[in-house]
Each structure stands twice: as C-alpha cells, then as structure tokens.
Amino acid sequence: MVKNRKKQPIILKDVLVQDYAAEGKSLAKIDGKVIFIERAVPGDIVDVQLFKNKKDWAEGFPIQFSKFSDDRVEPFCEHFQICGGCQWQMLPYEKQLIFKQKQVLDNLSRIGKINLPELMPIVGANETRYYRNKIEYTFATKRFIPDEEFIKFKQQNLPIHQEGSFGGFHAKGIFDKVVEIKKCHLQAEPTNEIRNAITQFCIKHNYPFYDIKNHTGWLRNMMVRIATTGEWMVNIMLGYEHEKMRKHLLDFVLEKFPNITSLLYTINPKLNDSIYDLIPQTYYGKGYIEEVLGEYKFIISPKSFFQTNTKQAEKLYNITKNFAELTGKEIVYDLYCGTGSIGIFVSNKTQKIIGVEAIPEAIEDAEKNASLNNIHHTHFFAGDVIKICDDNFFATHGKADVIITDPPRAGMHEKLVNKLLDIAAPVIVYVSCNPATQARDLALLDTTYEVTKIQPVDMFPHTHHIENVVQLKLRQ
C-alpha cells in the first residue's frame, strides 16, 4: 500500500506586490491571477507561500523578502505582527490614509455599482498613538510563542515556556492563548502599568489565572477606559467570587494607582468573555466616567458602547451633523443609536430626536445622557430596530425628515432598508464602520436615493479599519 504523502506547499518566487486590496491585505497579479498577500505592502518583492489556491485567485503570506518597499518605515511597537493589532505600522501614516481612501472607493464602486460623487479627502487623525479610550486585556495560563522565539529556542535546544501566568491580548486565531504584552501604544499610561502590576501581584500571591480551554481559574479579563476629562475606569473580570483574594487585589490596585476614579469588578463564571448579561460591581468611585464631545457630556458605564477614539469621534459627529443639513425644525430618527451620542450631539439643531437601540443598558445610558445635558426633546427606545420601526412607530412619533443610521459591521437588515424606502425621508446619513456592507445597502437604496456626499474618516490609525459617512437624498 502506498502511503499518502503530505501535499507540498505552493511557493511563488520573487512576487512584486503591486497594490493594496482590503482587510489589511495587499495584492499581486501573476498571469491574470490575483494573489492576496498578508503582511506585505506595495513595492515589496517576496516569496509567497499559498494557503488558499483557487482558479482565479489565491491567498498567501511572505516567507522571504527579496526587497522591501521604499515606502516601509520601522514599526514602533515590539509586538508588531505578533499581537495581531496595528497591522500597518510599517507604512507611513500618509500612505495609510491613501490606501484607506482607496478602500472606500473600491468598495462603493465594486460592490455598490452605483453612481457616486467624488469622495471628499479622508479625515486623518492628529494623534496616531495612544488614541483609544477603551482597551480590554486578557489573563491566561498559556501564551502564544512567536515564530522567531520558537526557532531560536529550538536551535539552542532550550525549553519553551508556554505554561504560566500571562497578561496581554488574545492571540489571533488561537482561542486559548494570549500574546504577552509589555507595552501597548494604543492607550495612554498607566494602562500598561496597571496590567503589568496586576499580573505580577497575582503571580506573587499565587492567585490562579484563567485557563481559557478548561474554564478554570480566577483572574480573567480587565477593561480600562480613559476619558479626556482625566477620569479613569478599571473593571476587572474574575472567574468566581473569592472575597479575600478580590479585596486584596482591588485594594492593591487602588493603593498603587490612586488616580483611578472608578474601580469595578465583575464575576463571570460563563464560558465566554461577554459581560453584557452580567452586573459589574462598583468597588470604588461612582461606577462610571464622564466624557465630553463638543459641548455635551456623556456618562460611560462599564457596558456602554462609545466611540473608541474620542477626538476622531467629535470629527465624525460634526460631519454627520453637517450632512444632516439641520435647521432646527427636523424630526430626526437615530437608528442603532447606542448611548445616544450622535442624536444628542446633533440635538440643538432639531425639533425632536427618536433613538432606537437593541441593548437596554445603552438606552438607559442614552436617557441619562440626555438628562445630564438638559435635553428634553429626545426619546429613546430599546429593541430590535427591524421590529420597532414599523408603520405605527413612525406614525406615532412623526414623519422622519432625517434618518441617521449607524449599524454594526454587518450593515442594515434588508427589511430595514425596505422600510427606509417606504418612509422616504428627504435625507439619510449613513455612518458605517464597514464600507463593504455599506456599499451593499447603498445599492438597495439606489432606486429611491442618490448618494450626494461621501466622507471617509480614519478612526483607527495603523489598522485597516475605516469609518465612512454617506449623505443620501431622495431622487427628484
């Protein structure tokens, strides 16, 4: 009997990377076939190992660089290409913006296939590091071993320490390991100091870290939020209640970091990390922080959704407000409203704001935020947008003059798109974190609406993510 031989990998030699594709990939063309390549930039010449190989396209990753692109710069983070974040650190920021602008145009043209006005120049960020107001860390008993470390230890016949107690980020594509992080450049200090201090404190006192695969252990996750007001929130997630250990840890954190304004803990015995069906407990402070966007204040609780880049969010909301072309007489529907931040931000130029959001806690925050800002013409409703936004709902609250929609990455449900076509509001402002699904929805709206303005906004420097705002008006 002939044994099955392992299939040899397909390796393409000296491939010139020609252009940017999407989702952080670049592309090359060989005899008409498109090759999508991870971890490469236009101008690189690489040997590519394929892991997908179809008739017209393939995907691969570089195993050898013959020449680096002249556009490359030195990444600033020691964890670059290991933790899975900030995939574009090797590109100058101005080049990142060019590729992101192209990504929006490609998606709207290729997927939407509709007539488009000229895109406005992308709005870049003034600060490209330390811009996140929220970061989530994971504590675990297994760490991801980078290739370089694995090879080095193998060559020297040294033991590889994978088991232990580690703090960092989930390893991309590996559910039970974390990338051990020394310094992340996404959030200002003391975010790294807090994570490292907690890691060392729990190791010192033999407090068990969470085993993600076997669902055992105590120290599980941590969320750190920072506001431009100077307020800090830390929420530590624990696998089970142990009062003595918990108080010991939390007292240490408060003593070590007295500038924390709200310290919470959440007991999470579940098999997943989501805390939306759990109740965070306030150990110190008021249990929330306050943020400012423009002239408005916002309460941010542990479970609140809030734009992760505060300074870029203010630019995004100003664009949304301008695209809405408000005069003060309009009834505005804010769909997928979250904690009401967009609706509240545009409220001073409206007659009435109607907000709809699926998460009840977010609606509670929206109502608190409206009250905090002494706004009385906002009305927020919890529930599925598709189910709530029926004929009776619009008849009850008034005909929409402007609809602002800011859906999740999956875009709008087709039933909602059809409902928007029925409502025929004069103006729709579509805010999207995924131009691909936005393009799909714009194509569905094209029978009744024309796209009149397009404004990309970079919310996440050094990543391939891009926000895009589109203004649509009823066809005449």
Give the residue numbers annotated as catalytic, written as ranges: 433
The phi, psi pair for 183, rounded to 5°, reads -145, 120
The dihedral region occupied by 456, where left means phi > 0, alpha psi between -120 and 50, and beta the remainder, is beta
Which helix (H) or strand (E) segment holds residue 443: the answer is helix 435-445
- Alpha carbon distance 172, 190 (integer Å): 25
3-state secondary structure of 88: coil
The phi, psi pair for 303, rounded to 5°, reads -105, 5
Query: Helices marked H in 108-239 — which ranges?
Result: 147-155, 191-204
Q: Per DSSP, what are the bridge partners of residue 136? A: 223
Residue reference for tokens 């995924």:
434
3-state secondary structure of 202: helix
CB 455 within 8 A of CB 323: yes
- Alpha carbon distance 473, 476 (integer Å): 9
Cβ neighbours of residue 372 closer than 8 Å, sequence gap 6 or more: 297, 298, 299
CB 367 within 8 A of CB 299: no
Q: Is 96 buried (19+), middle (13-18) or exposed (0-12) by CB count in 10 A?
A: buried
CB 137 within 8 A of CB 169: yes
